[in-house]
Amino acid sequence: MPDKKNFYERVYEVARQIPYGRVTSYGAIARAIGAAKSARMVGFALKNSPNDVPAHRVLNRNGVLTGKHHFPGTDLMQQLLENEGLQVIHDQVQDFEKFFWDPQTDS
DNA sequence: TGAGTGACTGTAA
DNA sequence: CTTACAGCCACTC
């Protein structure tokens, strides 16, 4: 059951591997850590994520900034993504599939 | 110990 | 093609 404790760490580990200017989905991370059904928990973990984890690069499978409201400020998440060269409109990442990064592929 | 909730996803209509 | 419903796991009260 120590593996359960690793759940958070695994999420952080994968999130930390997200390249600059790239984004991924909660389900992708969940699968990468072997908890495909716990995509929701991934978001929960990111909420508790340390500052060295780019949680702003993690969106839902639709490319929408679902957790933007959980970030400090109002548009911090969007600002961060735009700062990385991504185009965010209406809390939605344009060409999400194009910027999508699969942790398992590790491209 | 039990019940409720959530930064989601996949399938159905 | 878009919108709606149900399921799932882990965590908190």
Task: For A52-75, write each residue's pLDDT tens digit.
Answer: 999 999 999 999 999 999 999 999
Nucleotides on strand C lying under 7 Å from protein C-beta = 7-11
- Which domain does A44 fall in, by range? 7-98
In a domain, A59, yes or no: yes
Task: For A7-33, write each residue's pLDDT tens digit.
Answer: 999 999 999 999 999 999 999 999 999
Q: What angle do CA A79, A38, A58 make, to 5 degrees?
A: 15
Residues in chain A: 107
Q: Check if residue A61 sits with its Cβ under 7 angstroms from strand C.
A: no
Residue at the smallest CA–C1' distance to nucleotide C10: A41
Neighbour tally for A28: CB within 10 Å: 22
The whole-model pTM stands at: 0.92
In a domain, A106, yes or no: no
CATH of the domain at A46: 1.10.10.10
